[in-house]
């Protein structure tokens, strides 16, 4: 394939920001931005169960480097609402345009896949659907309800957009009672409008507060390496904590194509370790920080950690997730493979 086809496979007219972005070549990755595939029996079983399924996981579709580890833990992520987003963020590889599909049977089929894959924990996310009056809130809520109905031993995390701040839409999602309600802040105020032009920093914080006040465990994500400063990162973390965010993941920005925002810098593993320490000192219930950490990485264990932090008892039907956390990220289990502390222990600084 020609370079032009790889950069702009649809041969559409580029946005001005895309024209500007492609002037910067794709950056060379440092040595610590890599992972080793370890194929275990649980991963192999899940892969076999997915063959011929009518749905695909985000893990496989996006070639996530953590798929082997997450699937070994019986965790996976699904994308609902189609594959075309009504917004464009400068770091995101999902197509932008006018969505054409809205499948009201999707919740049932996602739940059936969860059952078939025998998942302990599932993250459900989706494209932003500003074309729908409810912002796809029914779709999220029904998917959560259907998973809980068909697979009561599976924990559900909903990773949602801001739904334009509509309280009725958000309330409909919250009432489905996911184990975790996640909404990713992603970056700091100074560059927020440049990176996420259709979102609003304060609106995202308000959403997290609303979810927490609705009795849900809350979660967010920060992507580093897009031009933020150290002090701005710390302030964004504090803003999230003040908004009653329980769980925080922190990751390195990896540029998906030349049309996307150039990488400002590679954040060193020791910096992620320091941010994790600062976050726990702020009072976060669970933090996962590292260059290849993604917002859904080891989500079940982070949920169990947050439950323990809050003094809430893990329901009997979800005890398997809690037991996994005790063996892995929980008490005395060490650090996850992609956690920065693990990379530092291997000699990456």
Residue 10 located in a structural domain: no
Confidence label for 303 from pLDDT (cuts 50, 70 and 90): very high
pTM above threshold 0.85:
yes
pLDDT in tens, 158-195: 999 999 999 999 999 999 999 999 999 999 999 999 99
Mean pLDDT of the chain: 88
Residue 89, annotated ligand binder? yes
Residue 120 located in a structural domain: yes
Residue 7 located in a structural domain: no
Residue 64, annotated ligand binder? yes
Return the pLDDT at 2.
43
Q: What percent of the chain has pLDDT over 90?
A: 73
| pLDDT over 60 at 73, yes or no | yes
- Better-scored residue on pLDDT, 2 or 309: 309
Residue 349, annotated ligand binder? no
Residue 29 located in a structural domain: no
Question: For 142-163, what is the mean pLDDT?
Answer: 98
Question: For 52-67, what is the mean pLDDT?
Answer: 56
Residue 164 located in a structural domain: yes
Residue 245, annotated ligand binder? no
Residue 245 located in a structural domain: yes
Show the 3-state SS of the chain: CCHHHHHCCCCCCCCHHHHHHCCCCCCCCCCCCCCCCCCCHHHHHHHHHHCCCCCCEHHHHCCCCCHHHHHHCCEEEEEECCCEECCCCCCCCCEECCCCCCCCCHHHHHHHHHHHHCCCEEEEEECCCCCCCCCCHHHHHHHHHHHHHHCCCCEEEEECCCHHHCHHHHHHHHCCCCCEEECCCECCHHHHHHHCCCCCHHHHHHHHHHHHHCCCEEEEEEEECCCCCHHHHHHHHHHHHHCCCCEEEEEECCCCCCCCCCCCCCCCHHHHHHHHHHHHHHCCCEEEECCCCCCCCCHHHHHHHHHHHHCCCCCHHHHHHHHHHHHCCCCCCCCCCCCHHHHHHCCCC
Residue 92, annotated ligand binder? yes
Residue 30 located in a structural domain: no
Residue 267 located in a structural domain: yes
Q: What percent of the chain has pLDDT over 70?
A: 83
| pLDDT over 70 at 323, yes or no | yes
Find the CATH number of the domain harbouring 71: 3.20.20.70
Domain residues for the domain of 60 are 37-345
Return the pLDDT at 160.
99
Q: How many domains does the chain have?
A: 1
């Amino acid at each position: 394939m020609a370079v032009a086809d790889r950069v702009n496979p649809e041969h559409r007219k580029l946005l001005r920001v895309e024209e500007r972005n492609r002037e910067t070549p794709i950056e060379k990755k440092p040595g610590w931005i890599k992972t080793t595939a370890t194929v275990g029996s649980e991963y192999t079983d899940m892969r076999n169960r997915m063959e011929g399924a009518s749905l695909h996981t985000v893990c496989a579709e996006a070639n996530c480097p953590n798929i082997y580890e997450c699937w070994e833990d019986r965790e996976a992520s699904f994308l609902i609402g189609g594959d075309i987003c009504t917004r464009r963020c400068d770091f995101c590889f999902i197509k932008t345009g006018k969505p054409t599909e809205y499948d009201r049977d999707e919740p049932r089929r996602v739940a059936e896949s969860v059952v078939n894959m025998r998942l302990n924990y599932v993250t459900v996310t989706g494209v932003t659907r500003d074309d729908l009056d409810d912002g796809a809130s029914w779709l999220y809520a029904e998917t959560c309800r259907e998973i809980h109905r068909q697979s009561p031993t599976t924990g559900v995390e909903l990773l949602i957009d801001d739904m334009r701040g509509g309280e009725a839409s958000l309330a409909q999602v919250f009432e489905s009672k996911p184990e975790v309600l996640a909404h990713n802040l992603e970056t700091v105020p100074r560059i927020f409008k440049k990176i996420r032009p259709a979102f609003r920093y304060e609106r995202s914080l308000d959403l997290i507060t609303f979810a927490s006040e609705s009795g849900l465990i809350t979660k967010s994500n920060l992507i580093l390496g897009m031009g933020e400063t150290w002090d701005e990162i710390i302030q964004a973390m504090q803003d999230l904590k003040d908004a009653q965010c329980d769980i925080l993941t922190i990751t390195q920005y990896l540029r998906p194509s030349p049309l996307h925002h150039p990488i400002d810098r590679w954040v060193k593993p020791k910096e992620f370790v320091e941010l994790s320490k600062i976050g726990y000192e702020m009072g976060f219930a669970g933090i996962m920080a590292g260059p290849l950490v993604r917002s859904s990485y080891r989500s079940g264990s982070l949920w169990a950690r947050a439950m323990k932090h809050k003094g809430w008892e893990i329901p009997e039907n979800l005890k398997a997730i809690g037991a996994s956390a005790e063996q892995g990220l929980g008490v005395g289990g060490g650090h996850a493979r992609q956690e920065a502390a693990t990379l530092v222990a291997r000699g990456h600084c």
